[in-house]
């Protein structure tokens, strides 16, 4: 019967485990010194070796030559443990045996001695799926198990494991395997299987696996079924990934602000089979590499497994500022979320690309506020390339409600109190934090119903009116009502009394 690569090349000894040296070294020393704990908790994401290390530890304890940190892998106990058929090494799926009845049965059987081995080992996978009553029923046995019993738990979500259980175990956190270690493991398997993968193919597989050796082996197994010669194009088609060369070209096009070409490249990637969500995530990771290269250099360790080579990263890392790269990644993140929730993900991604191709039209918020406060124009770039787009002067005039309100405050109208009249108002103690000049300007403009309505629609201005009204009575609505009441009183007063 055919065995997939993930099972055929499962590590048999501690030294064969990929990328978890901090775990295997501690367990080897524990076995060698006779300090093996009665309970272990293995935490980590999928495919990083939790079950594999649990089986190796069981073999180290029950090997015919042991306990030994170097199990022979040839005796009956080692062979049975490797395939999961040993009656003294009980593997339990926590997702399907999560109730209190399963734990009661475990407690009863734990008191019995091992049938053929030194230790009876209970391995519970996805232990966080157990119910609260099941955890409570396990506590006493877990704290003081019989001397011949060892517990090994594994979970991808350790926060869901009760603290009472975690405190009774020695915890080991399994790391995501680095891309370099994944590529090394894949190269060894390719040599054994006599597979030839085009340059860049294994690197693409490692990036897509995201630290999971099992996922990487699954992709390599699928590619091996296509033939002994595997091209980079085959890898990208199986992964549904975008070519790194396309991502690099897209960065160059965005730097040139060529929106049309950017949309063409995006369409080519999506037509080629890359999903909207995957493309957004892959391009975001590419931009992340540019951001890291800008600060740490193109040869930084944090860039191991980057989609682009060091020369490309060095050239492109200076094309955008850190704020621009952060903004672009945020746009891609939002597009990926839209693609996950809705059917309009492609539109969201295309809008993100259009925005990224017009970065020069954006003005930093702080710079825009300083320009507005100083009465000047915010910094703008040259006229946009898109036909019919608003000019820089039009964008300045339409800078938003805040600009319109500022213009109204500064613009004098017939019949409005002049700034000098507002300044000549009687001296009144203002609340803390209220600028006197602005408060009196608002008082003068509040007599205009249009300004009052606008102020009520703008939260900052409305709050300023409310705060000033506590002392000065500047509420727009109150002033308008006073003016209307005064007009009604004047109309009702007989001419001889006026």
The CATH code of the domain that includes 220 is 1.10.8.60
185, 142: one domain: no
The parent domain of residue 218 ranges over 179-239
Nearest Cα residue to 11 out of 65, 66, 48, 64: 48
377 lies in a domain? Answer: no
Q: Is there a domain that residue 223 lies in? A: yes
Beta-bridge partners for 40: 152, 170
Q: Classify burial at 38, counting beta carbons within 10 Å of its beta carbon; exposed 0-12, middle 13-18, buried 19 or more.
A: middle
Q: What is the pLDDT at residue 299? A: 82
How far apart are the C-alpha atoms of 195 and 201, rounded to whole Å?
A: 12
Give the position of tokens 């039209």: 361
Domain shared by 191 and 116, yes or no? no
Cα–Cα distance, 398 to 235 (Å, whole number): 50
At residue 359, what are phi and psi to the nearest 5 degrees?
A: -65, -30
Residue 405: which residues within 8 A CB-CB, separation 6 or more?
Answer: 451, 454, 455, 458, 461
Residue 377: Cβ-neighbour burial (10 angstroms; 0-12, 13-18, 19+): middle
Strands 170-173 and 39-43: parallel
Question: Based on the structure, what is the number of domains in the chain?
Answer: 4
- Residue 402 counted as domain residue: no
Pick from 39, 53, 35: nearest CA to 165: 39
How confident is the model over 258-281, as pLDDT tens digits? 999 999 999 998 888 888 988 999
178 within 8 A of 152, measured Cβ to Cβ: no
Residue 392 maps to a domain: no
CATH number at residue 142: 3.40.50.300
**Is the separation of the CB atoms in 189 and 4 below 8 Å?**
no
Q: Do residues 207 and 249 share a domain? A: no
Residues 229 and 306 occupy one common structural domain: no
pLDDT value for 384: 42
Within-domain flag for 476: yes
Peptide bond into 67 cis (omega under 30): yes
Among 333, 360, 387, the domain-final residue is: 360
Do 137 and 150 share a domain, yes or no?
A: yes
Residues 216, 287: one domain? no
Please report how many Cα atoms fall inside a 13 Å half-sphere around the Cα of residue 275, on the Cβ side: 12
In the prediction, which pLDDT does 425 show?
A: 41
Q: Is residue 271 part of a domain?
A: yes
Domain boundary among 222, 239, 256: 239
Model pLDDT for residues 447-493, shown as the tens digit of each residue: 555 555 555 556 566 666 666 665 555 555 555 666 677 667 766 66
pLDDT at position 380 is: 46
- From 239, 259, 277, the end of a domain falls on 239
Whether 350 is covered by a domain: the verdict is yes
Asked if residue 385 belongs to a domain, the reply is no
106, 185: one domain: no
User: Are the CB atoms for 228 and 194 separated by under 8 Å?
Assistant: yes
Q: What is the pTM of this model?
A: 0.68
Intervals of the chain under pLDDT 50: 380-402, 412-415, 417-428
Report the alpha-carbon distance of residue 104 to residue 447 in Å, rounded.
79
CA distances to 408, 419, 445, 481 from 413, in Å: 9, 11, 10, 21
| CATH number, position 312 | 1.20.272.10
């Amino acid at each position: 019967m055919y065995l997939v690569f993930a099972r055929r090349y499962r590590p048999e000894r501690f030294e064969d485990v990929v990328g978890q040296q901090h775990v295997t070294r501690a367990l080897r020393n524990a076995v060698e010194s006779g300090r093996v704990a009665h309970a272990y908790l293995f935490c980590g994401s999928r495919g990083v070796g939790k079950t594999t290390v649990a089986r190796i530890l069981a073999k180290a304890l029950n090997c015919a030559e042991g306990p030994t940190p170097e199990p022979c892998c040839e005796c009956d106990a080692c062979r049975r443990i490797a395939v999961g058929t040993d009656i003294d090494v009980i593997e339990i799926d926590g997702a399907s045996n999560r109730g209190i009845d399963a734990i009661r049965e475990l407690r009863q059987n734990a008191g019995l001695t091992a049938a053929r081995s030194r230790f009876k080992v209970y391995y519970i996978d996805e232990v966080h799926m157990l119910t609260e009553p099941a955890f409570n029923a396990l506590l006493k046995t877990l704290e003081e198990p019989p001397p011949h019993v060892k517990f090994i738990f594994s979970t991808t979500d350790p926060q869901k494991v009760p603290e009472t259980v975690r405190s009774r175990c020695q915890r080991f956190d399994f790391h995501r395997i680095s891309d370099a270690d994944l590529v090394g493991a894949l190269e060894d398997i390719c040599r054994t299987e006599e597979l030839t993968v085009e340059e860049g193919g294994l690197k693409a597989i490692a990036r897509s696996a995201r630290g999971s050796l099992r996922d990487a082996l699954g992709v390599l197994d699928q590619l091996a079924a296509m033939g002994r010669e595997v091209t980079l194009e085959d890898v990208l088609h199986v992964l549904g990934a975008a070519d790194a060369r396309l991502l690099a070209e897209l960065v160059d096009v965005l730097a040139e602000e060529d929106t049309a070409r950017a949309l063409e490249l995006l369409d080519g990637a999506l037509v080629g089979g890359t999903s909207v969500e995957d493309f957004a995530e892959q391009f975001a990771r590419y931009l992340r590499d540019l951001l890291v290269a800008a600060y740490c250099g193109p040869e930084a360790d944090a860039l191991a497994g980057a989609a682009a080579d060091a020369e490309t990263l060095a050239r492109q890392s200076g094309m955008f500022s850190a704020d621009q790269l952060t903004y672009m990644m945020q746009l891609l993140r939002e597009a990926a979320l839209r693609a996950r929730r809705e059917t309009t993900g492609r539109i969201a991604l295309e809008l993100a690309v259009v925005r990224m191709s017009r970065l020069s039209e954006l003005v930093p918020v702080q710079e825009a506020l300083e320009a507005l406060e100083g009465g000047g124009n915010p910094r703008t770039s040259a006229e946009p390339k898109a036909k019919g787009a608003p000019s820089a002067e039009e964008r300045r005039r339409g800078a938003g409600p805040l600009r319109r309100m500022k213009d109204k405050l500064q613009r004098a109208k017939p019949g409005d109190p002049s700034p000098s009249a507002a300044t000549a108002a009687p001296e009144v103690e203002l609340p803390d934090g209220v600028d006197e000049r602005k408060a009196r300007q608002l008082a003068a403009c509040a007599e205009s119903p249009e300004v009052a309505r606008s102020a009520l629609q703008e939260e900052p201005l409305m709050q300023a009116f409310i705060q000033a009204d506590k002392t000065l009575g500047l509420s727009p609505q109150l002033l308008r009502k006073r003016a209307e009441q005064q007009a009604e009183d004047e109309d009702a007063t007989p001419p001889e009394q006026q």
